[in-house]
Structure 1
Amino acid sequence: MPTPPSPGYALVTGASSGIGADIAREYARRGKPLVLTARRVERLEALAAELSAQVPCVVIATDLADPAAPAKLFAETQARGLFVDTLVNNAGYGVPGRYLSADWKTHADSLQVLLTSVAHLTHLYLPAMEAAGRGRILNVASLAGLVPPTAGHTLYGATKAWLIRFSETLDQESRPRGVHVTALCPGMTYTEFHDVNGMREKVSKLPKGIWLSSADVARLGVDAVESGRTRLVTGRANKLIAGLSKYLPDRLARALLASKSKDFRDAD
């Protein structure tokens, strides 16, 4: 295999806003060329225009709810001769309400974005990283994957728990071959996420001390994967919540979280 170009590109999914856009900014600040992908091409182009003075930026519009999208994205980067040595699986969203309040197509699309596309993209890009003996995969999970379940947003916490375990297992497999895999687990973060799922009014009532900016989360996440940390929970308050969830008796932890869940979960 020919020696891959250096430095390689960082491919960031869901790069049009929020944590994804700020991860792109953080990598640009560090001099890392970028492949930016999401559905909203106008936003991607605006971000590329912002960052192109710092690093080369390639925009590829992709809807990861389409099962064919990962293979098409991979084929496009291959056709352009781009060696992706950093994969950021960030794209995602929550479906509010109880499980039966949404139709199956809505749930199927969310699973495709949150779970299947992550596994597929990783399977496509990891071989070249291992062959080159270097690579980084940053999977944006959530504190929701580490705490007891609550009613509402039924699939979100479950898929994030899967993503954390997937990341940890993959890191053990690939670290000896020079590839670090990190599960980034933010708690409440100032992004459009809660506007999209209609929860902004509810979550705005939560204490200000548990929130972080998406720029801070992005910086911490990039630091974590570059230094080889397998899992990172961002923010002291979130670390405390994750710790209590782990060490409190399961029944008590579920009861405590359920009593507060109405502040950040729509279960209707």
Structure 2
Amino acid sequence: MLVTGASAGIGAALARFYAANGWDVILTARRRAPLEALAAELAATGVSTTVVTADLSDPLAPPRLVDEIAARGLRIDGLVNNAGFSRTSGFLQTDPADHAAMIRVMLAAPVELARLYAPMMVERGFGRILNVASLAGEMPATGGDTLYGPIKSFLIKASQGLHLELRGTGVHVTALCPGYTLTEFHDVNGTREQVSAAYPAWMWQTAEQVARVGYRACELNRPKATPGAANVLLAALGKHLPDALALAMVGGHARRLRRI
């Protein structure tokens, strides 16, 4: 199982969950030290672990990653596309290079890695592709974090299309759409204090809870999984509310975060 963005959070939790279910794991992210620590932890359980660092914001990273894994004689039967980040300072205030990196890491790289590995999985009649999207992909885009939701929406739709295309081949494809999750994600984008104060504890899930839902959904070959009843309700509201009301809802969300 190749897990991108495995250095922390949902990626690390998914790596632990797959290892606990007997999968050998290949861990990749930009930071080597946390990957090596996780690899040592998982190796103690008896599975094979491999660390390959990669910066998926580099357009050449996906084929290089595939080539390095192949050069080590390793076969990929599962792919977790989890790597991601966001910028919340606003569209006009964000460096265009950061926007380009977001698109490469969370949209282009998952598509390319799936395209590179899916044919091999189909040929063997077995495979798992789990794309970590977001509840944000099922809601109107939020001002201030303008590209994150649309990118995740693309990933959901692409996953659903690939799920249909590969039905009956033995290759399962699932989009995982978590809501607020207790990881370092909000520390990295600088919104930890705001989101922690803005939303009650019952809206939050642990990375382990999210990973469990994602693993089970992919094993059952469900096209999409949204962990948590509250998040399922929010996704339904985002889909069925009139545009004006849905935009007002996410607009209030953005204003609430800015005031705190």
TM > 0.5: yes
Distance 2:40 2:256 in 1: 38
Q: CA deviation at 1:176?
A: 2.2
Distance 2:10 2:253 in 1: 25
Aligned residue-pair number: 257
- Which of 190, 202, 207 pairs up with 1:214? 207
Distance 2:97 2:65 in 1: 23
Q: CA deviation at 1:103?
A: 1.7
Deviations 1:66-120 (A, max 9, x none): 1111011100111112111110000000011211101211111111101111111
- Which of 248, 252, 258 pairs up with 2:245? 252
Distance 1:150 1:220 in 2: 25
Distance 2:108 2:245 in 1: 33
Distance 1:26 1:69 in 2: 26
Deviations 1:221-260 (A, max 9, x none): 0111011111011111111111111222221121122112
- Which of 113, 116, 127 pairs up with 2:105? 113
Q: CA deviation at 1:157?
A: 0.4
1:23 corresponds to which residue? 14
1:5 corresponds to which residue? none
Q: CA deviation at 1:178?
A: 1.4
- Which of 70, 90, 94 pairs up with 1:102? 94
* 2:232 aligned partner, one-letter code: K
* 1:89 aligned partner, one-letter code: N
Tell me the secondary structure at the aligned position of residue 105 of structure 2.
Answer: helix
* 1:160 aligned partner, one-letter code: K
Q: How does 1:233-252 map to 2 (within 5 A)?
A: 233-252=226-245
2:170 corresponds to which residue? 178
Distance 1:249 1:180 in 2: 33
1:7 corresponds to which residue? none
Tell me the secondary structure at the aligned position of residue 94 of structure 1.
Answer: coil
Tell me the secondary structure at the aligned position of residue 186 of structure 2.
Answer: helix
Q: CA deviation at 1:44?
A: 0.3
Deviations 1:100-151 (A, max 9, x none): 1012111111111011111111111111100001101000000000012221
- Which of 110, 123, 127 pairs up with 2:119? 127
* Structure 1 vs Structure 2 CA RMSD: 1.2
TM-score by length of 1: 0.93
* 1:203–1:263 contact (8 Å) kept in structure 2: no
Which structure 1 residue ranges, 5 or more long, are not aligned?
1-9
Distance 2:242 2:219 in 1: 35
* 1:38–1:63 contact (8 Å) kept in structure 2: yes
- Which of 213, 224, 233 pairs up with 1:231? 224
Tell me the secondary structure at the aligned position of residue 23 of structure 2.
Answer: coil
